[in-house]
Structure 1
Amino acid sequence: MIIEVLAIIVALGLLMFFAYRGYPVIVFAPIFTLLAAVLSGLALMPSYTEIYMTNAANYIKSFFPIFLLGAVFGKAMELNGAAASIAHSIVRALGSNRAILAVVLACAILTYGGVSLFVVAFAVYPFAAAIFREANIPKRLIPGTIALGAFTFTMDALPGTPQIQNIIPTAYFGTDAYAAPVVGTIGAIMVLAAGLYWLERARRKAAALGEGYGEGHRNEPESASAEQKFPNIWIALIPLVLVLICNYLFSRGFLTVENWYDPQMLKDTFKIDKVKTVVSSWSLIIALTIGVIAALLINVNQVKNKLAAGLTTAAAGALLAIFNTASEVGFGNVVKTLPGFKLIQGWILGASSHPLVSEALAVNVLAGVTGSASGGLSIALEVMGKQYLELAQAAGISPELLHRIASMASGGMDTLPHNGAVITLLAITGLTHRQAYKDIFAVTVIKTLTVFILAFAASIFA
């Protein structure tokens, strides 16, 4: 049995190593999947075609519209200047004396409004660099500041966030994007407060040592010209607000898509046994579509000349993201069939007698290993989601708590050095891991600790 466990550990370790070195997960996930299968004595080709590819395809079928519409929405907000307008307005309103808070809030509003994390980093960085330079705050703190605003509490903690990490659990627990709003809001406040404390402490420490913004940095953005025009802030906010409102109305409001179709017809014709498992996805697809249309109507003349190239870029980004994640999901589904996984599963489930704590551990570990919040979350819930749901129901725990803890746990250790968003963020800002990763890691630890605090608290009071 130890050999079978080592087969899984070796495959996971190699996948993480090659991802860290910049090799494409799409290529190497199936290679290491089949390596684990062979070492465990599983039939090679059936494991690839009937387990790996089938589950990867099912994931794409379920979530590709959200990946694509999210990327298109973010690109539309970038092209029409709305994302830049929001960031610029917040940064300038709070001023250089609150530079860190201003950047965090700018990222948070864009992320919570449905803009892709990568687009948020591109949109906010020029203004973050300008205000950090004006306040003489070390540039190395910018990545950690953007990570706090975009990669943490607005990604998966705040109820209703349209990011994919908050949608994935709905398919496994029959919940919606607003699951466990109190726990999610408390967690968001904890992460925000602790993250701001860390970053402000780092700023004060740097100031005491006489460290300023610095000189000779790479990828320094050009200063915005005086004649550069952005949409009015209130107009720029309209697409974000529409996404949030429509998502709520279609998921649990009086326009809920749950009532649009006859349940028996859905079951007989489309094999949908429980409408609640698809309500969140359908609601977000409609909401993002409305948001895209609204975004395209802002600054029409500015958008139309760049629209074809912008849509091509957005589609390519969405394809890469979904296929990377689907590759990891296929990997996880093959792994769960291997003999050694039963022992690993027993270790994780045995780490705590409470399903919330065990779930947080499983999601966090897998997100860290894969370097992907959505990938680790999908693997954990695909493999053990049904078991966690049964344990929670037996203990009288709401599926909404399972949803929120799983979603928040995915945004913990996922931001290890090999994470794609981290690598992209450092590339955008022109900094290295050695210069700036310390503060990104601190934010990661804060988020991880918060999840376990909430899981332990819920295990006592739930």
Structure 2
Amino acid sequence: MAVAIAALSLILLMIAAYRGMSVILMAPLLAMLAVLLTDPSAVPAAFSGLFMDKAASFLKLYFPVFLLGALFGKLVEISGFSRAIVTAVIGFVGPKRAIPAIMFVTALLTYGGVSVFVAVFAVYPFAAEMFRRADIPKRLVPATIGLGAITFTMDALPGTPQIQNIIPTSFFGTTTWAAPILGTIGSIFIATAGLAYLNWRRRVMRATGEGYGAPETLVNEPEPGEEGAKRAHPLVALLPLIVVGVANLCLTLLIPRWVTGDDVILSLVGMAEPVTLKVAQMSALWAVEGALLLGIATILSFAWGPVARRFAEGSRAAVGGALLAGMNTAVEYGFGAVIAALPGFLVVKEALKSVPDPLVNEAITVTSLAGITGSASGGLSIALAAMAEQFSAAGAVAGIPPEVLHRVASMASGGMDSLPHNGAVITLLAVTGLTHRQAYKDIFALTLIKTFTVFLVIAVYYLTGLV
């Protein structure tokens, strides 16, 4: 019964998300329904002390990233830089290669350290303009951006600075470059299979006569550039993206050196008591926020005129987009925390321990918990906190290096996490102005490819011993 309650809440949330209902409304209602069916007296405390606490803690940490990311993306759009880059890319690779071009740009950003959420805001103006010119259905935009942002560059490609590749290092004593051969093999397979699928879908849609979409049916479209306006040089237009990527990397390395010690203690005259922040937890966020500020400054430096004329309107749209995306993801985070506290979740977690093979056990456990919580990092953290010692012990008996355990766990976290209630999926659809009904089918296809790849990598390891 306990498992059925957790499953019911999860299934209802996925159905609600797919049918276009507001997750901001449905996530707390369905989380509290699960608590009500488990222990009615716990509902008020679970709502205020668990759901809202987790949602607020997420916004406290990440809303500045959402806000700056949305503003950066909007300025890239209204400055004309997105149009300049798209024109250059189409001239170089041709409109037929719009899908791999957008995937490559997104992958470059996320592998450079830009968070998935920022990459969505930054790349969408390019993708929408490029797909419109090539007359590729807009509903393929989320899957194309997702292929570059939430698959191989998130957790498979060796050295990726995304959190899903960092979490296992503290449990297995590894580095982000763990199992480079297996990670590279997995990355190549995901990118190749994903592109093959998306290009096949494009051909099927073209055969039915479907184009980009009728203007009256489209939402959140990038604003058209001013007619007759001088177009920026593509290298100048590309500069803000380069600045964000490079600055993020540099600040990630420099901030821990600038800030001495493990903690930052803020104590101002008007404060009742000082605030202590962990440098290790905050430095990555500070680096991204600093990089985005530098990217915004770069846009203003080279396109002050067109940006100044439309800044008020554009910034309002950016703030609205950031609020929607941030709240969508925050309530998902709170929902996952409530589900993870239920007895049914603990039953599932214990049942997963019975899978005999160490790597298969690890992969199934991590991807299942990521799917249940709707979060790759959340599911990975829960799984490794509870079972990392068991995975390590079983791996040592079987002669499996910790690096392989790291790579399998990291890749598995990005498997079934992208179900309809996943925060990144909801953000991706909100930013692109599409619904689950319109675009989720193709995202789910990538989810299946990504999940299959984890077991492919395990098979490659067992057959070849490559690490």
Fraction of identical pairs, as percent: 37
What is the distance in 2 between the residues matched to 1:357 and 1:60? 35
> Does structure 1 conserve the Cα–Cα contact (< 8 Å) formed by 2:251 and 2:287?
yes
Selected match of 1:38 from 28, 36, 39 = 36
Aligned residue for 1:448, secondary structure, equals helix
Equivalent position of 1:127 in the other structure? 130
Aligned residue for 1:266, secondary structure, equals strand
> Does structure 2 conserve the Cα–Cα contact (< 8 Å) formed by 1:76 and 1:295?
yes
What is the distance in 1 between the residues matched to 2:317 and 2:401? 41
Equivalent position of 1:247 in the other structure? 248
Equivalent position of 1:315 in the other structure? 319
Shift, 1:452, TM fit: 3.6
Equivalent position of 1:54 in the other structure? 53
Aligned AA for 1:266?
V
What is the distance in 1 between the residues matched to 2:460 and 2:275? 41
> Does structure 2 conserve the Cα–Cα contact (< 8 Å) formed by 1:363 and 1:406?
yes
1:83 aligns with 2:82: yes
Q: Answer with 299-308 or 102-111: which moved more.
A: 102-111
> Does structure 2 conserve the Cα–Cα contact (< 8 Å) formed by 1:143 and 1:425?
no
Equivalent position of 1:218 in the other structure? 214
CA RMSD, Structure 1 to Structure 2 (Å):
4.1
Aligned AA for 1:117?
V
What is the distance in 2 between the residues matched to 1:126 and 1:399? 44
What is the distance in 2 between the residues matched to 1:367 and 1:347? 16
Equivalent position of 1:448 in the other structure? 451
The 5 Å alignment of 1:179-258 reads 180=178, 182=180, 184-200=183-199, 211=207, 214=210, 217-219=213-215, 227=228, 229-252=230-253, 255=254, 257-258=255-256
| Distance change (3 Å), C-alpha of 1:271 and 1:437 | closer
Equivalent position of 2:346 in the other structure? 342
Shift, 1:48, TM fit: 1.5
Shift, 1:65, TM fit: 2.2
Equivalent position of 1:304 in the other structure? 308
Equivalent position of 2:335 in the other structure? 331
| Distance change (3 Å), C-alpha of 1:267 and 1:240 | same
> Does structure 2 conserve the Cα–Cα contact (< 8 Å) formed by 1:329 and 1:378?
no
| Distance change (3 Å), C-alpha of 1:414 and 1:424 | farther
What is the distance in 2 between the residues matched to 1:168 and 1:451? 14
Give per-residue Cα distances to partners, 1:255-274, cap 9 Å, x unaligned: 2x11222326537965456x
What is the distance in 2 between the residues matched to 1:331 and 1:231? 44
| Distance change (3 Å), C-alpha of 1:194 and 1:321 | same
| Distance change (3 Å), C-alpha of 1:67 and 1:144 | closer
> Does structure 2 conserve the Cα–Cα contact (< 8 Å) formed by 1:129 and 1:139?
yes
Shift, 1:86, TM fit: 2.0
Give per-residue Cα distances to partners, 1:18-45, cap 9 Å, x unaligned: 1222222222222222221121126221
Structure 2 alignment gaps of length 5 or more = 267-273
Give per-residue Cα distances to partners, 1:315-371, cap 9 Å, x unaligned: 2222222222221222222222222221111123444653x655544554455567x
Shift, 1:235, TM fit: 0.9
TM-score after normalising by structure 1: 0.77
What is the distance in 2 between the residues matched to 1:202 and 1:264? 50
The 5 Å alignment of 1:394-413 reads 408-409=411-412, 411-413=414-416
Q: Answer with 216-225 or 237-246: which moved more.
A: 216-225
Q: Answer with 293-302 or 438-447: which moved more.
A: 438-447
Equivalent position of 1:420 in the other structure? 426
- Number of residue pairs matched by the alignment: 438
Aligned residue for 1:336, secondary structure, equals helix
| Distance change (3 Å), C-alpha of 1:249 and 1:16 | same
Structure 1 alignment gaps of length 5 or more = none
Q: Answer with 124-133 or 51-60: which moved more.
A: 124-133
> Does structure 1 conserve the Cα–Cα contact (< 8 Å) formed by 2:419 and 2:444?
yes
Equivalent position of 2:294 in the other structure? 290
| Distance change (3 Å), C-alpha of 1:104 and 1:52 | closer
| Distance change (3 Å), C-alpha of 1:216 and 1:451 | closer
> Does structure 2 conserve the Cα–Cα contact (< 8 Å) formed by 1:158 and 1:181?
no
> Does structure 2 conserve the Cα–Cα contact (< 8 Å) formed by 1:148 and 1:192?
yes
| Distance change (3 Å), C-alpha of 1:335 and 1:445 | closer
What is the distance in 2 between the residues matched to 1:84 and 1:402? 43
Equivalent position of 1:6 in the other structure? 4
Equivalent position of 1:379 in the other structure? 378
